[in-house]
């Protein structure tokens, strides 16, 4: 067990110091997933303790060769494992670890049970609920390390091809527990492929340097994302300020009602009537304006197909579609995705109307702060004046 901990620490440090940042998939996180998957499999398979140690050591080292060269990385992984383990285990055990590392080659077919365990563990992500997110890491890696750019359709086709023709699970545990989840992910891939084909997306793989960029789409999308996030953040700040004012004025009114009002019946407290009324009046007005700044505007929630054809509706805002049947909304959203102009116009409308809402919020909020500030000043002056007159009399 101590040797496995040493191996983990060594691989972590190796990847940290020598692995290029372009390897977003084949890194320590992937290695750790493989080790954990192997541990899960070995709990259900009849491996000896010695065989389990071979498998786990091989898992830790199986992709370490990426720190040297991604081409034939299994061979480089073997050399790294030999250097680390040569003084720690026997030659016979080292030979078993080497055998297991080499079986992780894509075309290698496992024969023994321990080989089947590491082979299945290496592809455990096919059955992961986060399969698509994990695959995007590999897509980014191929973009940065291999200079390959896949369209969405080409990427899904590549995944489908590999899962159907190049991969299968070998252990009983994986067949019983992971095969169904793999097929579920494969079904989702099929759905995405059909959807992308319906939108006439190209099935293309290109070298990054061969891409012709007609428009700075990434820059435009970044601009929209940053602008929309800023608008939403400003809206949240306005709502937060309004809530603070609501809370403060509600506390002032509750204190006045529970403490001051019951004492106003006494003749000796007559001088407190006017200051108390001023304070309560301005607090109530402040609450009204604070509510106005946060009060949502209800829209019709409907649109027509003519609105879609004329591109007169923003389907990215829930207030324009919440009363519509799903099929009509689906039809409209497909139309938005088919037209770059329609899509960008929708984002522009969303940004513009968010700006109008923000203007309204901050206008009411400014009035609320002015009323609150005026009320506090007048209330303090009224109380001071009342006490001065009382002392003078």
CATH fold of 2-210, please?
Answer: Hypothetical protein af1432 (1.10.3210)
Tens of pLDDT along 46-105?
Answer: 899 999 999 999 999 999 999 999 999 999 999 999 999 999 999 999 999 999 999 999
Q: Is 60 exceeded by the pLDDT of residue 17? A: yes
How high is the pLDDT of residue 180?
95
Alpha-carbon span 19 to 77, nearest angstrom: 13
How high is the pLDDT of residue 299?
66
Tens of pLDDT along 243-274?
Answer: 888 898 888 888 888 877 777 767 767 777 78
Q: Is 70 exceeded by the pLDDT of residue 353? A: yes
pLDDT bin (cut points 50, 70, 90) of residue 279 is confident
Q: pLDDT higher for 392 or 115?
A: 115
Alpha-carbon span 99 to 115, nearest angstrom: 8
Mean of all residue pLDDT scores within the chain: 86
State both tokens at 301. Answer: 């929630």
User: In a 10 Å sphere around its CB, with 0-12 CB exposed, 13-18 middle and 19+ buried, how is residue 344 labelled?
Assistant: middle
How high is the pLDDT of residue 213?
47
Alpha-carbon span 387 to 381, nearest angstrom: 10
Beta bridge partners of 148: 207
Alpha-carbon span 281 to 156, nearest angstrom: 64
Helix axes 91-102, 49-61, angle to 10 degrees: 60
How high is the pLDDT of residue 162?
94
How high is the pLDDT of residue 1?
60
Q: Name the nearest CA neighbour of 72 among 34, 102, 31.
A: 102
pTM across the whole model: 0.55
Percent of the chain with pLDDT over 90: 45
**Count H helices, E strands: the chain?**
15, 2
Q: Is 90 exceeded by the pLDDT of residue 341? A: no
Tens of pLDDT along 123-181?
Answer: 999 999 999 999 999 999 998 888 889 989 999 999 999 999 999 999 999 999 999 99
Alpha-carbon span 47 to 56, nearest angstrom: 12
* CB proximity list for 298: less than 8 A, separation 6 or greater: 319
pLDDT bin (cut points 50, 70, 90) of residue 114 is very high
Alpha-carbon span 168 to 123, nearest angstrom: 9
Instruction: Read off the pLDDT of each residue in 343-349 and give the average, rounded to a whole number.
Output: 81
């Amino acid at each position: 067990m101590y040797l496995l901990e040493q191996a983990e620490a060594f691989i972590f440090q190796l990847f940290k110091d020598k692995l290029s940042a372009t390897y977003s998939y084949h890194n320590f996180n992937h290695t750790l997933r493989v080790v954990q998957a192997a541990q899960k499999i070995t709990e259900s398979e009849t491996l000896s303790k010695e065989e389990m140690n071979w498998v786990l050591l091989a898992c830790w080292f199986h992709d370490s060769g990426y720190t040297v060269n991604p081409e034939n990385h299994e061979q480089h992984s073997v050399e790294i494992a030999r250097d680390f383990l040569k003084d720690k285990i026997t030659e016979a055990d080292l030979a078993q670890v080497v055998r297991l590392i080499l079986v992780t080659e894509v075309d290698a077919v496992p024969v023994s049970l321990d080989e089947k365990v590491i082979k299945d563990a290496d592809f455990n992500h096919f059955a992961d609920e986060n399969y698509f997110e994990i695959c995007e890491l590999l897509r980014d890696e191929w973009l940065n390390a291999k200079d390959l750019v896949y369209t969405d359709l080409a990427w899904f086709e590549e995944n489908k091809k590999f899962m159907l023709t190049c991969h299968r699970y070998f252990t009983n545990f994986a067949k019983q527990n992971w095969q169904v989840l793999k097929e579920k992910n494969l079904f989702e891939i099929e759905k995405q492929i059909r959807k992308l084909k319906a939108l006439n997306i190209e099935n293309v793989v290109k070298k990054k340097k061969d891409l012709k960029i007609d428009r700075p789409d990434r820059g435009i999308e970044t601009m929209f994302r940053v602008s929309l996030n800023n608008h939403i953040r400003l809206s949240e700040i306005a709502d937060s300020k309004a809530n603070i004012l609501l809370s403060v004025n509600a506390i002032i009114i509750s204190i006045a009602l529970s403490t001051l009002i019951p004492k106003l019946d006494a003749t000796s407290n007559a001088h407190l009537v006017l200051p108390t009324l001023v304070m309560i009046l301005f607090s109530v007005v402040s609450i009204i304006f604070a509510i106005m700044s946060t009060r949502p505007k209800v829209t019709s929630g409907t649109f027509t197909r003519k609105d879609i054809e004329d591109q007169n509706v923003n389907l990215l805002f829930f207030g324009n579609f919440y009363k519509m049947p799903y099929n009509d909304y689906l039809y409209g959203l497909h139309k938005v995705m088919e037209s770059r102009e329609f899509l960008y116009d929708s984002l522009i409308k969303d940004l513009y109307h968010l700006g109008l809402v923000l203007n309204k919020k901050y206008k009411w909020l400014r009035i609320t702060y002015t009323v609150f500030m005026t009320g506090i000043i007048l209330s303090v002056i009224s109380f001071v004046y009342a006490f001065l007159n009382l002392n003078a009399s």
